[in-house]
């Protein structure tokens, strides 16, 4: 009950502007169709209280769009001579050249065309079956959806049972217009970054999870982007840290800027960057106060990766990029799921908060982030696309 109340307060605080309710429709073509329901801010009660109280981007990332689930558990096994068997009807299994298994499920769901938007099918986020691998895909409206994902060869050494969330469904705008930030926009984003990550922020954070983001979500903030010029602007503080991303989940790709070694010890998580990498970031990113000391905000960026929160297997990555969106638009942070780690989905109110924190969930005791590879991706979207009202038609 405490967590539910905390989440309700977070969601209410995050609603900076009132937006018209958006309704989307999905037709159930069969009685045994997959289940579709609104994504849960608390992951059905499975997030920590401190996250519910303080981490608005995480809560909003949890509640983005909808979740596809099986009506009952599905069992997949190998028979004699490697043949594949499934106890659920309308499921096709195919082994590829590498030995991985492609699973295709006739969902029995038909998505109707949303107004001024597109349907996006993606992996389940923030609490998902890590055996399931899939890439983002745009849903063809008016046709029965076939959900396809991959299971690794090693996963089927023994019979497995799949249950719970299989995939996520959300909306994306038909178009999002990106541009390079102007000088005045760059200066304004930098000033807001410095003001948020001041010394008081870090002093409070040492005592308990800070609620500064939550409290400032209610304050009026003038948008830096005019709607007649762009939907989002970006300022890369270092070269080669972002690139354009086309196709499903259209937006920007964030590139890993340093080699990061991540270690998870259960109650503690560590992330380390080579000293040369930290020194280089300090040289290029540091800003200094009147006494010649680096500002807390620039130190925040220079320390590229840190263990995120005590007790959770999470690593916080701080890309050297600032992004601003127009009024009533937000930034969705998402990304791939690898063997050793996956990107947690978050929603940032980039009308006033311009940093782009990427949180990785570690799946193994050790994970290595390779530099100059895709770390995550971001997409800008109108706020009213985040949690539309679902109408199911039978």
Instruction: Give pLDDT tens digits for 201-239.
Output: 999 888 777 889 988 887 778 889 998 889 999 999 998
What pLDDT sits at residue 220?
Answer: 77
* Residue limits of CATH 2.70.40.10 in the chain: 2-175+388-393, 178-382
| Cβ atoms < 10 Å from Cβ of 107 | 25
pLDDT band at 169 (very low <50, low <70, confident <90, very high): very high
pLDDT reading at 68 higher than 50? yes
Q: Mean pLDDT across the stretch 67-91?
A: 91
Contact criterion met (CB below 8 Å) for 61 and 386 = no
Helices (H), the chain: 2-14, 49-54, 56-62, 183-196, 199-207, 212-216, 275-285, 296-302
Instruction: Tell the CATH topology of 2-175+388-393.
Output: Deoxyuridine 5'-Triphosphate Nucleotidohydrolase; Chain A (2.70.40)
> How large is the C-alpha radius of gyration of the chain?
22
Q: Is 142 exposed, middle or buried (0-12, 13-18, 19+ CB in 10 A)?
A: exposed
| pLDDT top residue among 66 and 239 | 66
What would the DSSP string read from start to end of 37-62? EEPPTTTTT-S-HHHHHH-HHHHHHH
In this prediction the pTM is 0.91
Q: How many CA atoms lie within 13 A of 157 on its CB side?
A: 3
How far apart are alpha carbons 112 and 390 in whole angstroms?
11
Contacts (Cβ under 8 Å, ≥6 apart) of 376: 253, 254, 317, 333, 334, 335, 336, 343, 358
Distance (Å, whole) CA 349 – CA 90: 41
d(Cα 308, Cα 359) in Å, to the nearest integer?
A: 8
Q: Which of 181, 190, 198, 187 is nearest to 300 (CA)?
A: 198
Distances (CA, A) of 161 to 66, 71, 73, 85, 168: 22, 13, 6, 12, 19
Q: Domain 178-382 classified CATH 3.40.50.1000?
A: no
Looking at residue 265, what is its pLDDT?
Answer: 86
Q: How confident is the model at residue 19 (pLDDT cuts 50, 70, 90)?
A: low
Q: What pLDDT was estimated at residue 23?
A: 95
């Amino acid at each position: 009950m405490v967590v539910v109340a905390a989440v309700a307060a977070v969601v209410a605080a995050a609603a900076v502007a009132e937006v018209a309710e958006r309704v989307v429709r999905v037709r159930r073509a069969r009685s045994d169709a997959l289940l579709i329901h609104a994504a849960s801010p608390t992951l059905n009660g499975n997030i920590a209280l401190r996250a519910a109280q303080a981490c608005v981007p995480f809560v909003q990332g949890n509640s983005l769009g909808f979740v596809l689930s099986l009506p009952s558990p599905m069992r997949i096994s190998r028979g004699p001579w490697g043949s594949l068997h499934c106890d659920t009807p309308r499921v096709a299994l195919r082994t590829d050249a590498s030995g991985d298994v492609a699973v295709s499920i006739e969902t029995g769901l038909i998505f109707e065309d949303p107004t001024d938007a597109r349907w996006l099918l993606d992996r389940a986020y923030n609490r998902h079956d890590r055996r399931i691998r899939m890439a983002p895909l745009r849903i063809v409206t008016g046709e029965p959806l076939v959900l396809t994902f991959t299971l690794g060869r090693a996963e089927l050494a023994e019979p497995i049972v799949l249950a719970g969330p299989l995939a996520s469904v959300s909306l994306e705008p038909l178009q999002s217009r990106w541009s390079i930030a102007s000088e005045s926009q760059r200066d304004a984003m930098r000033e807001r970054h410095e003001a948020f990550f001041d010394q008081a922020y870090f002093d409070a954070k040492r005592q308990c999870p800070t609620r500064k983001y939550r409290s400032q979500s209610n304050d009026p903030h003038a948008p830096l982007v005019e709607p007649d010029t762009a939907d989002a602007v970006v300022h890369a503080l270092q070269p080669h840290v972002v690139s354009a991303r086309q196709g499903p989940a259209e937006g920007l790709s964030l590139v890993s800027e340093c080699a990061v070694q991540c270690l998870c010890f259960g109650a503690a998580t560590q992330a380390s960057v080579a000293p040369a990498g930290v020194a280089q970031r300090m040289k290029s990113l540091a800003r200094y106060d009147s006494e010649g000391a680096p500002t807390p905000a620039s130190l925040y960026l220079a320390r590229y990766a840190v263990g995120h929160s005590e007790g959770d297997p999470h690593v916080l990555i701080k890309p050297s990029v600032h992004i601003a969106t127009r009024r009533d638009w937000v930034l969705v942070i998402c990304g791939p799921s690898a063997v050793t780690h996956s990107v947690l989905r978050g929603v940032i109110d980039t009308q006033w908060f311009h940093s782009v924190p990427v949180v990785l969930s570690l799946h193994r005791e050790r994970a290595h982030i390779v530099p100059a590879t895709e770390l995550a991706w971001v997409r800008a979207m109108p706020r009213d696309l985040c949690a539309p009202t679902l109408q199911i038609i039978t």
